[in-house]
C-alpha cells in the first residue's frame, strides 16, 4: 500500500455569495490518498483505495489534486466575514452604499397579516 500526502496552495478567483463581488484569495487544502498495487490481496474491494495497474511506471495524480482542491472549498464563500450582502428590496451593496428603500415598505400581499397581528395585541 502507498499513501500519498497532498497539500495544495493556489490563488483563486471567487464571487462572494452575499454581495456578488469578485475577489481573489489564497486557497489551501490537504489530504491523504491511498494506492494499492493490482496484485495485492483485497486491492479492488475498498473504493477509497486506488489501484495501480501491474507494470505501471508512474502514477497520474491529476484527478486526486483536482478532487482535493474542489472538495476543500467551503460551501459558502464570502469576500470577508463582515460582508453585509445586498439589500433584498433595492439590491444595494450594503458594503459600499446605504440602502435607498424605506423601512416601512411592505408588500401589499402581506397587509392582511398585519391586521391579524394588531388584533392579537
Residues 18-34 have a mean pLDDT of: 92
- Identify the pLDDT of residue 118: 65
The single residue listed with the C-alpha cell 489551501 is 28
CB neighbours of residue 12 within 10 Å:
13
Residue 3, φ and ψ in degrees, nearest 5: -110, 130
- Identify the pLDDT of residue 108: 78
Closest among 31, 29, 28, 41 to 1, alpha carbons compared: 41
Q: Which pLDDT tens digit goes with each residue over 60-114?
A: 888 888 988 999 999 999 999 999 999 988 889 999 998 878 766 667 787 778 7
The single residue listed with the C-alpha cell 450594503 is 94
d(CA 17, CA 41): 47
| Residue spans per domain, the chain | 1-81, 84-121
Residue 120 has pLDDT above 80, yes or no: no
| pTM as predicted | 0.61
Amino acid at each position: 500500500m502507498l499513501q500519498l500526502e497532498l497539500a495544495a496552495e493556489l490563488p483563486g478567483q471567487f464571487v462572494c455569495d452575499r454581495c456578488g463581488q469578485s475577489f481573489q484569495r489564497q486557497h489551501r487544502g490537504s489530504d491523504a490518498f491511498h494506492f494499492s498495487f493490482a496484485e495485492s490481496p483485497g486491492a479492488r474491494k475498498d473504493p477509497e483505495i486506488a489501484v495501480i495497474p501491474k507494470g505501471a511506471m508512474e502514477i497520474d495524480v491529476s484527478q486526486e489534486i483536482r478532487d482535493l482542491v474542489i472538495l476543500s472549498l467551503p460551501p459558502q464563500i464570502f469576500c470577508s466575514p463582515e460582508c453585509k450582502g445586498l439589500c433584498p428590496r433595492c439590491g444595494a451593496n450594503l458594503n459600499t452604499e446605504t440602502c435607498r428603500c424605506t423601512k416601512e415598505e411592505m408588500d401589499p400581499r402581506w397587509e392582511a397579516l398585519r391586521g391579524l397581528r394588531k388584533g392579537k395585541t
